[in-house]
Homo-oligomer: A and B are copies of this chain.
Amino acid sequence: MKTTDIATALAGKYPEWIVFVVTCDATGRVDLMPAGWCMVCSGEPPMLAVALGLGRHTRTVVEATGEFQIAFAGEGQREVVDFAGRCSGREVDKIAALGLRLSPGAATRVPLVEGCARSFECRLAGSLPSGDHVIYVGEILAAHVADPPVRNLVNFGGWYGPARAEE
């Protein structure tokens, strides 16, 4: 192996998940942001962890409400990922701007977003500062999948698409 700079080595990390962190603030306003730094972190109970940048509006809502949803982007949502990543829920009503259809969640106040491949309603279970992000751990309370099924949109390093294994 050869030593290289960290950024170069990290550039080969892909494929990486693309999820939306969906929130609903105290006034009922729904927002979503795309995130790539997300993983399962417990089997029993089932839990997901996601790292959110220090400046993110979503962080404020997660901490205030104690709940969030991790929704895997569906293959038809490239535009949603790009738009939702370019602006902040502080200034823009992304749900309205994108014309996203919502339906009620089963276990939290956070609604489901049509077009996502799968959604996990989470209750905040812990957090850990890590550099310029904070890791939030959510216990999964309820899960939903697209019907009919939709493939996950996956990040290949600036290029998004469904993934398939190669020989």
- Give the interface of A toward B (CB within 8 A): 1-10, 12-15, 17, 36-47, 49, 51, 72, 103, 106, 112, 114, 116-120, 125-133, 135, 137, 139-140, 142-147, 149, 152, 154, 156, 159-167
Task: Give chain B nearest CB distance to A102 CB in angstroms.
Answer: 10
User: How many monomers of this chain does the complex have?
Assistant: 2
Sample 21 A-B pairs with CB under 8 A, ordered by A number: A1-B145, A2-B145, A3-B142, A3-B143, A6-B46, A6-B120, A9-B118, A10-B120, A12-B152, A13-B72, A15-B15, A37-B41, A39-B39, A41-B130, A47-B130, A49-B135, A127-B128, A128-B135, A135-B137, A154-B163, A162-B165
The answer for the CA separation of A161 and B165 in the assembled complex, in Å, is: 6
A118 & B49 in contact (Cβ 8 Å cutoff)? no
A137 & B130 in contact (Cβ 8 Å cutoff)? yes
A41 & B51 in contact (Cβ 8 Å cutoff)? yes
The answer for the CA separation of A166 and B72 in the assembled complex, in Å, is: 17
